């Protein structure tokens, strides 16, 4: 069998890599491909959107199966054209690909079929859009209607940022015709995840869960990109959430598209926002995600060609998909300046060393070969992907390989998979969900001495710093999520009985203007330490002000904003406990000496 893969990114390299493992395949072509793909397929110099030239090439070379990677090819109507000429091709037709190609269509579709999503308004007039922004305030999300390579979504923390976003899209035409209309929608809070499945229009065959990292900088800061890394599985998607997504999102979407006369064949990708038990759809895609494809295809043990053909033939219900249980992680290495302006043609060094790391595949995205050397040729350059016995091991192997590779200006995030690691840590801590807020504390060999309480699961990334320090000091603790707005009565009961249960200190972390710390302090005689958590609105300043302004008689020892404050909160808790516990006092003394040694070493390095 001869197979053509359309596209040139890391997703397409991963597809070529997986297809090459099929015993049914004798020859692989890729148009246009990249320097990495050339090692396992014949690259053809035809643009992914030149569908007439791709059609002619397919006919001339007797291609048996074509796999479409990028959304731009689908929006151009490649599937319609190939099917018209009797050719086998995997992907949705143009009228179905509109689910990704138009944010306006997708939002109206979700509204019509009761698929959970953020509230929204659609505008084709700049002045009306600005007037609406003035009316509802910020934060907001502004989206260009059409395809914009993953960069047409702007999260605006202020009214000014929102107005600047609509000007950028509608007036400056930053994304061309994709900005003829904009969607302005509510800014959702929570943790994102990707739910990606094969579909033949009648059956949904889901892949394992995954999580992308859109923002350019660590901690999900900075402008959005096409994706700076991904991992699978995503522990934020529990079995209950997966069932909900299948029944309330995936199946209604497949059935709704069929009812609209737009039957969907190929991939169905729902980008989700999860906050506790609230699940909303951020967007739909109609192809493999990039970089999610890389870790997902590394976990797929079945012959992917069999799955592609079953989707085309409407027989996905006959496929039994086999998945490697080991976690996988992909770290994207990008050009300096991306997602803004960047230079190309930089020589990439260390690729041979990187691929020698155990369990590592380096998938090329923006690369080319020049004068016998592999050079950068795009914003996202490589997707360094690793599989490991545990998520921690997969992350370790991925970053070992990343550290082997270098070019002038290269950049990668250093926190890919960190959310999953924090969520998966269970030694010495228990994170309960909203429905189980007042469950019994974690059973440990010693009684729990410190309680770490959060207003939202999104604060876990900050509060984990407190848990890590307590663990280092061998202090038993528990972690709980206590959303004030829906569980105030249970929170009051929990706080008023904490001392009876042996808890000595409470560390309360909350963002925006949550009254969590003050409510706890009002209903307990225990010392309460407050940690303001960062938020997208004012970077934790609102939380800080709320904590320091608690009424008289309800003291809260307020720390600095973010992870540093969370760690210091745990240090203060340990000092309080050390007044009556010699063992903890000894641990603290050792910690103090460790800090002194580090400071002396730093001073020595400066002087020397």
pLDDT in the model for residue 553:
83
Per-residue pLDDT band for 445 (boundaries 50, 70, 90) equals very low
Question: Does the structure show a pLDDT above 90 at 405?
Answer: yes
Q: Which helix (H) or strand (E) holds 308?
A: helix 304-313
Check residues 86 and 456 and name the one with the higher pLDDT.
86
If you average pLDDT over residues 468-489, what whole number do you get?
80
pLDDT in the model for residue 276:
87
Task: Take residue 605 and report the two structure tokens written for it.
Answer: 């390095």
Question: Does the structure show a pLDDT above 80 at 482?
Answer: no
Question: Does the structure show a pLDDT above 70 at 536?
Answer: no
pLDDT in the model for residue 375:
98
Question: Quick one: how far is CA 178 from the chain centroid?
Answer: 24
pLDDT in the model for residue 535:
61
Q: How many CA atoms lie within 13 A of 262 on its CB side?
A: 17
pLDDT tens string 24-81: 999 999 999 999 999 999 999 999 999 999 999 999 999 999 999 999 999 999 999 9
pLDDT tens string 84-108: 999 999 999 999 999 999 999 999 9
Percent with pLDDT over 90 in the chain: 77
Check residues 260 and 457 and name the one with the higher pLDDT.
260
pLDDT in the model for residue 438:
33
Mean pLDDT lowest among 7-11, 28-32, 521-525: 521-525
Per-residue pLDDT band for 446 (boundaries 50, 70, 90) equals low
pLDDT in the model for residue 428:
33
Q: Residue 20 in 3-state DSSP?
A: coil
pLDDT in the model for residue 426:
39
Inter-axis angle of helices 251-259 and 94-101, nearest 10: 130
Which phi and psi (to 5°) does residue 273 adopt?
-120, 125
Residue 372: CB atoms within 10 A of its CB come to 5
Contacts of 40 (CB under 8 A, 6+ apart): 16, 17, 20, 28
Cβ atoms of 530 and 547 closer than 8 Å? yes
Domains of the chain: 2-90 (3.40.50.20), 98-318 (3.30.470.20), 334-420 (3.90.600.10), 425-591 (3.40.50.1970)
Mean pLDDT lowest among 12-21, 347-356, 547-556: 547-556
pLDDT in the model for residue 606:
57
pLDDT in the model for residue 542:
75
Per-residue pLDDT band for 148 (boundaries 50, 70, 90) equals confident
Per-residue pLDDT band for 513 (boundaries 50, 70, 90) equals low
pLDDT in the model for residue 447:
77
pLDDT in the model for residue 484:
61
Highest mean pLDDT among 368-377, 427-436, 536-545: 368-377
If you average pLDDT over residues 438-445, what whole number do you get?
34
The pTM of the full predicted model, rounded to 2 decimals, is: 0.70
DSSP 8-state symbol, 209: P
pLDDT in the model for residue 443:
33
pLDDT in the model for residue 489:
65
pLDDT in the model for residue 231:
97
Strands (E), 449-540: 450-454, 477-481, 505-510, 528-532
If you average pLDDT over residues 391-414, what whole number do you get?
96
């Amino acid at each position: 069998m001869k197979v053509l893969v359309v596209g040139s990114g890391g997703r397409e390299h991963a597809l070529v890599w997986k297809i090459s493992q099929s015993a049914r395949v004798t020859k692989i072509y890729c148009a246009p491909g990249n320097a990495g793909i050339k090692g396992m397929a014949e690259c053809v110099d035809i643009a992914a959107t030149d569908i007439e030239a791709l059609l002619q090439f397919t006919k001339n070379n007797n291609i048996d199966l074509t796999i479409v990677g990028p959304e731009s090819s689908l929006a151009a109507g490649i599937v319609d054209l190939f099917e018209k000429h009797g050719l086998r091709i995997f992907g949705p037709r143009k009228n179905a690909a509109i689910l990704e190609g138009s944010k306006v269509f997708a939002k109206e579709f979700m509204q019509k079929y009761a698929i959970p999503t953020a509230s929204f308004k659609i505008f084709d007039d700049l002045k009306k859009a600005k007037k609406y922004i003035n009316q509802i305030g910020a934060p907001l999300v502004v989206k260009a209607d059409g395809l914009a390579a993953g960069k047409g979504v702007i999260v605006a923390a202020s009214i000014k940022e929102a107005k600047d976003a609509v000007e950028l899209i509608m007036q400056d035409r930053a994304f061309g015709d994709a900005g003829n209309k904009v969607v302005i929608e509510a800014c959702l809070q929570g943790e994102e995840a990707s739910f990606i499945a094969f579909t033949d229009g009648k059956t949904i065959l889901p892949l394992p869960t995954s999580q992308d990292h859109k923002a350019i900088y660590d901690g999900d800061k900075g402008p959005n990109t096409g994706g700076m890394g991904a991992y699978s599985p995503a522990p934020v998607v529990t079995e209950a959430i997966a069932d909900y997504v299948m029944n309330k999102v995936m199946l209604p979407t497949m059935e709704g598209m069929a009812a609209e006369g737009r039957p969907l064949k190929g991939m169905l990708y729902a980008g989700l926002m999860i906050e506790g038990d609230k699940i909303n759809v951020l967007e739909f895609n109609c192809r493999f995600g990039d970089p999610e494809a890389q870790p997902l295809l590394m976990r797929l043990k079945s012959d992917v060609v069999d799955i592609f053909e079953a989707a085309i033939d409407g027989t996905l219900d006959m496929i039994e998909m086999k998945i490697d249980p080991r976690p996988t992680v992909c770290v994207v290495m990008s050009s300096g300046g991306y997602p803004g302006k960047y230079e190309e043609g930089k020589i990439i060094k260390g690729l041979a060393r990187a691929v020698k790391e155990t369990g590592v595949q380096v998938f090329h995205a923006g690369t080319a070969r020049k004068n016998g050397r592999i050079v950068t040729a795009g914003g996202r350059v490589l997707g360094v992907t690793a599989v490991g016995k545990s998520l921690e091991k997969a992350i370790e192997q991925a970053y070992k390989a990343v550290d082997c590779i270098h070019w002038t200006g290269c950049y990668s995030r250093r926190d890919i998979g960190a959310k999953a690691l924090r969520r998966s840590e269970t030694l010495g801590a228990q994170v309960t969900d909203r429905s189980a807020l007042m469950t019994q504390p974690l059973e440990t060999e010693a009684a729990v001495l410190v309680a770490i309480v959060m207003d939202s699961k999104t604060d876990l990334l900050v509060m984990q710093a407190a848990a890590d320090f307590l663990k280092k000091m061998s202090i038993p603790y528990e972690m709980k999520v206590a959303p004030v707005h829906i569980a105030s009565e249970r929170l009051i009961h929990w706080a008023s009985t904490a001392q009876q249960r042996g808890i000595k200190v409470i560390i309360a972390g909350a963002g925006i203007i949550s009254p969590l710390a003050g409510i706890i302090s009002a209903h307990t005689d225990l010392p309460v330490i407050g940690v303001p958590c960062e938020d997208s609105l004012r970077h934790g300043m609102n939380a800080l002000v709320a904590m320091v302004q608690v009424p008289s008689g309800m003291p809260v020892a307020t720390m600095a904003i973010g992870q540093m404050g969370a760690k210091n909160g745990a240090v203060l808790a340990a000092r309080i406990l050390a007044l009556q516990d010699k063992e903890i006092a000894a641990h603290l003394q050792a910690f103090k000496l460790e800090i002194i040694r580090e400071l002396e070493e730093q001073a020595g390095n400066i002087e020397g």
